[in-house]
Chains A and B, each alone.
Chain A
Amino acid sequence: DAKTTQPTSMDCAEGRAANLPCNHSTISGNEYVYWYRQIHSQGPQYIIHGLKNNETNEMASLIITEDRKSSTLILPHATLRDTAVYYCIAFWGGATNKLIFGTGTLLAVQP
């Protein structure tokens, strides 16, 4: 599975868009980009995933560059409840679908 690189931490003002970057320069053609988040003292929560097209759901948008070497998760209107560690994971699933987590980005939404 491709290694991902994320900033250790970011701040965002409440109500503003939060843009979380992820580099995955060694991603292969069959690997998807997944985002999970983990709110303090809870288990991780799936947010969104994509292969090469931009994706949007009720939680967030995922923008993947044309060369697929990086992506950005966008929370359009961040709230205090979005404060969490956000994990970017690049993998294709294989036979087991095990997730390989890095240390993620701690997003702190400020009032």
Chain B
Amino acid sequence: GAGVSQSPSNKVTEKGKDVELRCDPISGHTALYWYRQRLGQGLEFLIYFQGNSAPDKSGLPSDRFSAERTGESVSTLTIQRTQQEDSAVYLCASSSRLTSGGIYNEQFFGPGTRLTVL
């Protein structure tokens, strides 16, 4: 079946504009994650969804960042009043329902959206 898809693949915006990034997870995957990767850096966790709820938003860097998920499917990450430091690749991942005891279902990543703020 299809993997995780993200759109757009590239986004160039001007400082101060709002942007929306979209993630389509693998069908049936209940867990969805957003990560950010700055140039030459590792991934930073942003937010986690289980179904349509976000029990962990601890990685969102400021109140300019928000995300929602609907229908236990598509998720949108919104960045308001973009700043140059927001420039990065934004990656989405999904996984099936967590099992107990820390046993883990692998996360499947999309190709990312490269955001450039001028």
Q: Name A residues whose Cβ lies closer than 8 Å to a Cβ of B.
A: 30, 32, 34, 41-46, 49, 87, 92-104
Contact = CB atoms under 8 A, between A and B. Distances in A.
A70 B9 CA distance: 37
Given A43-B91, A46-B106, A97-B107, A104 B112 contact: no
Ranked 9 nearest A-B pairs via Cβ = A43-B109, A101-B42, A46-B106, A101-B43, A92-B102, A96-B56, A98-B45, A93-B102, A96-B48
Interface of B: 4, 31, 33, 35, 41-45, 48, 50, 55-56, 59, 91, 93, 95, 98, 102-112
B47 to A, nearest CB: 9
Max chain A Cβ within 10 angstroms of own Cβ: one of B4, B41, B43, B111 = B43
A98 B48 contact: yes
B109 A44 contact: yes
B42 A96 contact: no
Contacts of A104: 42
Nearest to B108: A46
Contacts of A103: 41-42
Interface of A is mostly: loop
A96 to B, nearest CB: 4
A87 B106 CA distance: 14
Contacts of A101: 35, 42-44
Nearest to A31: B102
Contact of A95 (B43, B45, B56, B108): B56
Nearest to B100: A93
Given A96-B48, A97-B107, A98-B48, A44 B43 contact: yes
Given A96-B48, A99-B43, A46 B107 contact: yes
